[in-house]
Amino acid sequence: MDTYSLLREIADSWVLLVLFLFFIGVVVWAFRPGSRKTHRDTANIPFRHEDKPAPDGQGDDDDDAEETRQ
């Protein structure tokens, strides 16, 4: 049996099974009972500054923020 045929058989059987189990694991992890708060918090990120805009210096690194303050 040549190398290509061996790797093809492994990929067709075991790798497919491993990837399917990984997919099921990700789905179970995403819908686990304790993740509702985390998903709700992440979904509300765009609405955190609803009453006022974010400050101008937000997102700048420390050096740029210090230069604007002086």
Give the total number of structural domains in the chain: 1
* Model pLDDT, residue 69: 54
Write out the residue range of the structural domain in which residue 12 sits: 1-43
Domain assignment of residue 39, yes or no: yes
**Is 14 part of a structural domain of the chain?**
yes
Residue range 40-69: average pLDDT?
66
Q: Comparing 9 with 62, which gets the higher pLDDT?
A: 9
Residue 27 in any domain: the answer is yes
For 27-48, the pLDDT digits (tens) are 999 899 888 888 888 888 888 8
User: Which pLDDT does position 58 carry in this prediction?
Assistant: 57
Dist. CA 5–CA 22, nearest whole Å: 25
The reply to whether 34 falls in a domain is yes
**Distance between CA atoms of 41 and 36, rounded to whole angstroms?**
9
What CA–CA distance (Å, rounded) separates 49 from 63?
A: 25
Tokens 């061996």 -> residue: 6
Check whether 14 has a pLDDT greater than 80. Answer: yes
Rounded Cα distance between 66 and 70, Å, is: 6
With beta carbons less than 8 A apart as the criterion, state whether 68 and 57 touch: yes
Q: What is the pTM of this model?
A: 0.52
pLDDT at 26 exceeding the cut of 60: yes
